[in-house]
Amino acid sequence: MARNIRFIVVHCTAGSQRATVADLQAEFRKKGWKNPGYHYVVFPDGRVVQLLDEAKVANGVKGYNSVSIHVAYVGGIDAQGRSVDNRTEAQRRSMLVILKDLHRRYPSARIQGHRDFSPDKNSNGKVDKWERIKECPCFDAITEYQDI
């Protein structure tokens, strides 16, 4: 049965830009997850690796996984462990390509960052910085990808 995809969620891995697929898989296993947190991962050189078939449910955003496809870039923190948008130009280009392709296949899906699932505590229609549960993906994915 096909999944009803309502969201294409952009993430960062919140780790080193030198992380490998094996490193990411080990992190997911350490969390006790059967499936990875992302369907696709974009490496600093622009290479895109599919970690999970789109028909399967990834562990990207609790409560929304069954209706989401998850795409992450490797990185998202600086040397001190603080959140930072440290995507390379190759990652930016590859993210755009994969997100355009996914949106073409799931045209009614909304592209947004993991942080945009945080609750709108003051009911102003947007998630303000102080309301975010996390910073992932460390940039405003809704604005950046609004023209896709």
CA distance 25 to 58: 12
Amino acid identity, position 90: A
Average pLDDT over residues 5-25: 94
- Find out whether the peptide bond into 137 is cis, omega within 30 degrees of 0: yes
Q: Which of 40, 106, 114, 138 is catalytic?
A: 114
Q: Does position 119 have pLDDT exceeding 70, yes or no? A: no
Is residue 136 annotated as a catalytic residue, yes or no? yes
The domains of the chain, with CATH numbers, are: 7-144 (3.40.80.10)
Is residue 134 annotated as a catalytic residue, yes or no? yes
Contact 90, 46 (CB under 8 A): yes
Contact 51, 36 (CB under 8 A): yes
Question: What confidence tens digit (pLDDT) does each residue in 46-99 have?
Answer: 999 999 999 999 999 889 999 999 999 999 998 888 889 999 999 999 999 999
Is residue 38 annotated as a catalytic residue, yes or no? yes
Q: Which of 38, 40, 106, 145 is catalytic?
A: 38
Is residue 138 annotated as a catalytic residue, yes or no? no
Average pLDDT over residues 24-48: 94
Q: Of 65, 63, 15, which is closest to residue 41 (Cα–Cα)?
A: 15
Q: Of 109, 83, 127, 142, which is closest to residue 7 (Cα–Cα)?
A: 109
Residues pairing with 76 in the sheet = 15
Q: Which of 11, 12, 106, 138 is catalytic?
A: 11
Q: Does position 2 have pLDDT exceeding 90, yes or no? A: no
Is residue 70 annotated as a catalytic residue, yes or no? no
What pLDDT is recorded for position 50? 97
